[in-house]
Every structure is written in C-alpha cells, then in structure tokens.
Structure 1
C-alpha cells in the first residue's frame, strides 16, 4: 500500500499518527479538525482509519480518554508504545536496541529533548522523526520493528480501542508483510515479549549516555511507566 502514497502523503500520515497516539490533552482536541482535514489528503486505506480515530476522540470526554489511554498503553504488555519492548521485553538486550535508535537520531541531528523526555523507541517519537527529520531512516526503524507494530495493531483492534485506527493507518503506509515477517508476528502473538526481569535504570542517565561511546557497555532500560494523574 505504501507504493500508492506520495512522499508528502506519507509524511502527513506519520505526523498525524504521531499526534493522535500522544497522551490526549486539550491541545490534541484542538487539533482534531486539522487532523480530519489532513486525512482527506490521504488514500482511503490510510486516511479513513485516522478519521475514525478523530471521531472517537472528539466524541469522548477528555477525562475518559485519558483514563482509557493509561489503561491501554501504560498497563498492557501487548499494547505499549515502546517498540524495542516487543522484541526484547525486560531484558538487557533492550538497552542495545535503544542505543541504535538514539544513534540514528544523533546522526540526523534530531534532538531527543524535543520529544518530551520519552524514550527514543516510543512510537510517537519514531513517527515524528520519520515525518519531520529523516523519512528514510524513520521508515527503516518502523520496518525493523514491524512485528511489534503488527502485534500492537492486532491488540488494539481486538480491544476495539479508539486508537486502533492509528496503527491500521501506519501499517498501511508500509509494504505488505513478507512471509518471514508474518511468521515473526505469529510467534510474537503466541509468546509475547520476553519476560526476563533485570535491574533497570532510567534512560538519560550518565551510564546510558556513556554507553554511546562504549559498545561493550551494559545498559539497563526502564519499563513503560504509568503516567501520574
């Protein structure tokens, strides 16, 4: 499906998805009309799911949206927005994977401080990076974590989540799954993310940043945390 999109349409789709997947607040509600208009620039397979999300968000009281968002993305292992978590769960390998994201951003001149303190693999951050900084590298990061994206999409669809359409739209901007990718999605759906627990330290600590220059360093990363009320 991605072959039907112009470059401009792809960037609009990713930026819209990034905004719609962020924690809902008054600012997001104020942008819904703009996002609805933007969705009409896109092919039906990409734009229609976004419009469905806009309708759901616009017709739900903000406190209910915020509670639903936390219950969905901050409390369910198969619905979190951190891409490396699907592949590596609570294991030390996740630190290496996160370093790759940060290194890609640094190479493109993308300042993570502008991402609101989120980890570099947060889907909103990746989509914003792909839309506004480096579309090719951003697309590759999405493809590298396609199995996790598809599990997130399937989980949200099964829950009939208001945000399911965002993942349907993002998936529609990418090439159709190949056989090995479909196998990876099936395995991940059957087994879920790895569960090995490790001692974790917050992203952004000196130990984490020092590991950028020491590829052999051991780096521990946090689980997604529930937002404060």
Structure 2
C-alpha cells in the first residue's frame, strides 16, 4: 500500500470511529469518494461499512456505537487498556502517547485520553505518519483483540478495524501469542493511576501545541 493510501485509510477510519452525529453524517459523501479510490485491501472493508450506513438510520447507529464502545469492555477503543487495564502502568503508557503528540507539535483537547483509536489514527493520518504508525504497531495486539471482539459480536465496525489492520504488518508468532494471552486473560483490574486523564470521551480532536 502506497503511503498516500495508508494515510487515507487512517483518516477515513478515524472519522468513521467517531460518534455518529449530524456532523459525522455530513462527512460521508467525501469519505465515499476517498474510499472509492483506495486499494481493495482496505477499500473493500471500508466500503462494507459504508454500505451498512446506507440502510441504517443515524439514531440506530448512534445507539449501536454507545452499546458497542461504551458498554462493552471487550470492545474498548482505548489501546493501552488491553495490555494494562486501569493500572499505574497504563498511566505511563498514556504519557508515551502524549509525549509523541507533543513532539510533533500537537496536544489533545482537555479531557481526552491520548490512546483512543480514533485519536491515534487522526494523528497518524494528518500529523506524523511515522510516529503514528509506530504507536499503532506497538499496540498491534490490542488492536487485534478489539478487531476480533467486534467480529465475534457481528459489529459493523469490525470492517473499519479490518481496514486499519490491512495497513499494518501481519502478526508474527510472538504477536499472535500476545493476542491469545490478552483475549484469554483480559486486562489487569487494578483501578488506580488514571486520575490526571479524566473521563472517557469519544470525540477526538487534535490541535496545535501552544508555546
């Protein structure tokens, strides 16, 4: 996949993983044109999701989004959750994301966690593709656990994860073992160490860092 196609997939996936409201729906005509120009490895997956949108009312999509990503822990869109749960180690992993963003000259809006998949994809697509890809690859196992959970649940959003996965290296033996461990054991359950990051908010936005 050419670099331009890769970043187009990430940008499209970032927008499609945002909460489906009226503003979200207004982006769909442009997204359809972008997806139509993508190679089949990712374009077909995103096309399946767009086809689902053609026959699903926006209110139903919004309810499904909340039920999927907000109410099912196995479908958590926050990448560090899979390896660290709500532990002190996760707090350090979140700082790595924040440092990567600031090094590229951007910071998150207040109250947003930096490891939300839509945030990471937006960063990779529009700010620093190399650093963004590195973050995605570092959390490849968590991405795969999320993709498999969505697939097993029959979620339409599984197609979006399929498209993202197609832009990343295939899992090797060690990576597959990590996926099996995460899927079997689940994340650690110690609920400490996240106070500085606030609540989970599903509407990612990046902005330029202030001096």
Give the one of 17, 26, 37 matched to 1:21.
Answer: 17
CA offset digits 1:32-83 (Å, max 9, x no partner): 2221221122111211110111121232111211111111001111101100
Distance in structure 1 (CA, Å) of the matches to 2:202 and 2:103: 31
Q: Does 1:191 align with 2:172?
A: no
The runs of at least 4 consecutive aligned structure 1 residues that moved more than 2 Å come to 197-200, 224-227
CA distance in 2, matches of 1:93, 1:110: 24
For 1:165 and 1:36, how far apart are their aligned partners in 2? 15
Corresponding residue for residue 135 of structure 2: 141
Greater relative contact order (CA < 8 Å, ≥ 6 in sequence): 2
Matches within 5 A, 1:47-126: 47-113=43-109, 117-126=111-120
* TM-score, length of structure 1 as denominator length: 0.84
Residue 34 and residue 106 in structure 1: after superposition, are their counterparts in 2 closer, same or farther (change >3 A)?
Answer: same
Spell out, residue by residue over 1:137-164, the C-alpha distance to the aligned partner (whole angstroms, 9 max, x if none): 0000000000110000001111111211
Equivalent pairs counted in the alignment come to 203
Q: CA deviation at 1:183?
A: 0.5
2: CA distance between counterparts of 1:7 and 1:199?
Answer: 37
Tell me, yes or no, if the aligned pair for 1:57 and 1:162 is still in contact at 8 Å: no
Paired residues of 1:9 and 1:42 also in contact (CA < 8 A): yes
Larger radius of gyration: 1
Q: CA deviation at 1:25?
A: 0.8
C-alpha distance in structure 1 between counterparts of 2:122 and 2:173, whole Å: 29
Contact 1:14-1:128 at 8 Å conserved across structures: yes
Whole-angstrom CA distance in 2 between matches of 1:179 and 1:68: 34
User: Which shows bigger deviation, 28-37 or 44-53?
Assistant: 28-37
How large is the RMSD of aligned CA atoms in angstroms?
Answer: 1.8
Alpha-carbon distance between aligned partners in 1 of 2:173 and 2:116, rounded to the nearest angstrom: 26
Q: TM-score, normalised by structure 2?
A: 0.91
Q: 1:90 and 1:117 mapped to 2: Cα distance?
A: 17
**Is residue 19–residue 124 contact of structure 1 (8 Å, CA) maintained in 2?**
yes
